[in-house]
Amino acid sequence: MENKSTYYQGYDFSPLEVFEWIKHGALEHINAKKWLGKSDFEKFTTTFEKQFSDNYNQVKSFINNDLDKGNVSFAVLVVSLYEAFLEVGICQKTTLRWVEESINAPTYDFVVEGTEKMLDSAENPFASLVQSSKMREQTYFGSSFNFERPIDDEFGYVLHIKKCLFHQTLQHLKRTDLQPIICRIDLGWINGIKPEKHGIRFVRPVTFASGKVCQMWFVREEKSAVGTNF
C-alpha cells in the first residue's frame, strides 16, 4: 500500500490493505496535526493499541475470512481511536471530529481523483460504475453483507444493503453512534462522480447511521434533446 503511484481504478485493494493504509495514515495525521502534546500522544498510541486488541477480541467471532478480517478491523479502528481520544481527556465533540478527519484524510483525495479518472476514461461511465459496485460487493465485502438489487437495468441501479458487518461490529461494541464516521468513508468515491461530466447521479437516502438499511441509488441522467434550451 506504500506505492500508490497508479491512480485508484475501482477497487484494487483488499479490505486488509485498506485497513492498514487507513490505520497508518490516521496515526500519522494525528501526529502531524499536533492535536496532542508529546506525552499525551504517547499515552494515546498506547491506549489505542490496547483498546484495539481488546475490541478486536470481542468481535473476532464475526470473522470468517480475510474480507471479514479487514472490514471488522476497520470498524474496530474507528472505535479504538475514539476511545483513546476520550481516555486522554479530549471532549466527545472534538473526539468525533478528529476521528472522522483522521480516518478520511489518508484516502480521500486519492479516491476522489482516481474515481473521476476511472469514469473519465470509461466508454460508458454508468455501466463502469455499476460493474465496479457489483465487483466490490463480491470481492471486498462478501457474504457477511447482504445485498439486494430491486432495480438493475441500463437506466438505474438500486442497491439495498440489509446486513452490514460494520454495523454488526459497532452494535456488539455498543458504539453505533460512530456509524456516521464509517459511512462517510464512502465520500471519496461518491465525490469522484461528476454528474455534469459523467451523466450519473448518486443518492444514498438512508444508511445504518439513520435507519435499519443502507440504500444506494445509481441513476443515469437523461440526455437533453439537441437544440433544447430551458
More confident residue, 2 or 68: 68
More confident residue, 210 or 8: 210
**In the predicted model, is pLDDT for residue 113 greater than 80?**
yes
Q: Write the DSSP assignment of the chain as a string of letters.
A: -----SPP-SS-S-HHHHHHHHHHHHHHHHHHHT-S-HHHHHHHHHHHHHHHHHHHHHHGGG--SHHHHHHHHHHHHHHHHHHHHHHTT--HHHHHHHHHHHHHTTTHHHHHHHHHHHHHH-SSHHHHHHHHHHHHIIIIIGGGSEEEEEEESSSEEEEEEEE-HHHHHHHHTT-GGGHHHHHGGGHHHHHT--HHHH-EEEEEEE-TTTSSSEEEEEEEPPPPPTT---
Domain spans of the chain? 15-220
What is the structure's pLDDT at 11?
53
Tens digits of per-residue pLDDT, 19-63?
A: 999 999 999 999 999 999 999 999 999 999 999 999 999 999 999
More confident residue, 13 or 50: 50
Q: What is the mean pLDDT of the chain?
A: 93
